[in-house]
Amino acid sequence: MDVRTTSLMALLLASMTLLWEVAGAQTQSVSPPRRNTALHERLLTLDTHLDTPALLSRPGWSIMDRHDARNDLSQVDYPRMVRGGLDGGFWVIFTPQGARTPEATAQARDSALLTALRIREMVARHSDRFELALSSTDAQRIAAAGRRVVYMSIENGYPLAGDPTLLRTFYGMGVRLFGPVHTRNNDLADSSTDAVREWQGLSPLGKQFIAEANRLGIMLDASHASDEVLDQMLELSKTPVLLSHSGCKDVYAHPRNVDDERLRKLAAQGGVIQMNSLGGYLVAAADNPQRRQALAALDARFGPQNTLPPAKIRELAAARRAIDAQFPAARAGFEDFMRHVLHALEVVGPEHVGMGADWDGGGGVEGLEDVADLPKITQRLLAAGYSEQDLAAIWSGNVLRVLREVEEHAVRAKQQL
């Protein structure tokens, strides 16, 4: 680790100390509404891909306020978690892929570290409603105490590519799930959606990250990775692999999705597919150049959402609705999402399926708009004949079992040193 990184980490450690001073801050009272089913109320429910940390820097936005997807373009907050019975999940440190230069990578690193701090600050500021989870046993305890569970994950290893030891730094900050790549190739791995296969799977550096994650006790996430990357992860990892937010290629042949043969290999090694609800990965949609151009112009006009105040967000939401009206596009629905879920359950069984809907990252379909709608999934699975035991595994038991196995491997590895 270079001198700049060492200095940065000293500053971060000092900042983290200050964060906990606000842990006793008062939070507004939210009266939990009646949920839809007693069974859903009993379940420990975790989602493995919450992109909500991207909103924590948005001016005027608070996790404690009740927002709505239509006007606020957000899908997760404390009141809706209560209403939808979501006990928590993995809160994502996401970094868009940028230039692969030392300068750009260092900037991405700093941004990722700040996102991690924002997550911890959220937990500290609202410590009566949220708690940081660091082990597989923490989730049940935190939920039983009436707080929401905050595991941390990394989507895209781009910020770490210049320094493999940074994975240890992020582990110390709370990260327990790591995905090496996003929508474009990087220095660690090939993406499923890049036009070329640069590494034919993992790069030599990417393989080092697999070993380091195993050593530390961090789960590996192959969502967004190419098929070859998944194959190599399954070959190299000493622990089960997770797909934190993916779909089924045999239902819709999108490159982001995973075919049945690989799902069976994933399950045979103890892994789990967590089901994505992003419509573009669920069903085919006809390309509309006019709509695409209008949306691109809108993005250029408003810029990054996390910089916009509430009034501008409402203006952006209204402009998007106007585009929807002028250039309508068929939208995936709840049953399209469930088609992927039920297919995965049929292929690998309820011991290897979970939920990672990509909330605040593009997820959500007609009839499943935000986390307040989650009881619909439980009701649909009950109607399909799945038991309470199955549902307990799907909603949290499977991912926590993988995390436990990852932890146990890390302990054994240290004992052998």
The three-state DSSP-derived secondary structure of the chain is CCHHHHHHHHHHHHHHHHHHHHCCCCCCCCCCCCCCCHHHHHCCCEEEEECHHHHCCCCCCCCCCCCCHHHHCCCCCHHHHHHHCCCEEEEEEECCCCCCCHHHHHHHHHHHHHHHHHHHHHHHHCCCCEEECCCCCHHHHHHHCCCEEEEEEEECCHHHCCCCCHHHHHHHHCEEEEECCCCCCCCCECECCCCCCCCCCECHHHHHHHHHHHHHCCEEECCCECHHHHHHHHHHCCCCEEEEEECECCCCCCCCCECHHHHHHHHHCCCEEEECCCHHHCCCCCCCHHHHHHHHHHHHHHCCHHHCCHHHHHHHHHHHHHHHHHCCCCCCEHHHHHHHHHHHHHHHCHHHEEECCCECCCCCEECECCHHHCHHHHHHHHHCCCCHHHHHHHHHHHHHHHHHHHHHHHHHHHHCC
Whole-angstrom Cα distance, residue 32 to residue 78? Answer: 10
Helix axes 204-216, 227-236, angle to 10 degrees: 50
pLDDT of residue 416: 86
pLDDT at 223: 98
At residue 29, the pLDDT reads 38
Q: How far apart are CA 276 and CA 270, in angstroms?
A: 19
Question: Which residues of the chain register pLDDT less than 70?
Answer: 1-36
Residue with tokens 């507004």: 28
Please state the φ and ψ torsions of residue 401, each to the nearest 5 degrees.
-65, -45
**Does residue 178 contact residue 219 with C-beta atoms inside 8 Å?**
yes
Q: How many CA atoms lie within 13 A of 184 on its CB side?
A: 8
**Cβ contacts of 132 within 8 Å, gap of 6 or more:** 120, 123, 150, 152, 174
How large is the C-alpha radius of gyration of the chain?
A: 20
How far is residue 220's CA from residue 214's CA, in Å, rounded to a whole number? 8
Query: Looking at residue 257, what is its pLDDT?
Result: 98
Number of other CB atoms surrounding residue 354 within 10 Å: 28
Chain centroid, CA 356 distance in Å: 6
Q: What pTM value is reported for the model?
A: 0.92
The 8 Å CB, 24+ separation contacts for 251-256 are 251/282, 251/339, 251/340, 251/343, 252/281, 252/282, 252/283, 252/284, 252/340, 254/280, 254/281, 255/192, 255/193, 255/226, 256/192, 256/193, 256/223, 256/224, 256/281
Tokens 């909500």 sit on residue: 52
Alpha carbons 229 and 235: distance in angstroms, whole number: 10
CB 356 within 8 A of CB 371: no
379, amino acid identity: Q
Residues 132, 150: contact at Cβ < 8 Å? yes
88-94 and 148-155 beta bridge pairing = parallel
Q: Considering Cα of 27, then 32, then 33, then 39, what sign does the dihedral take?
A: positive
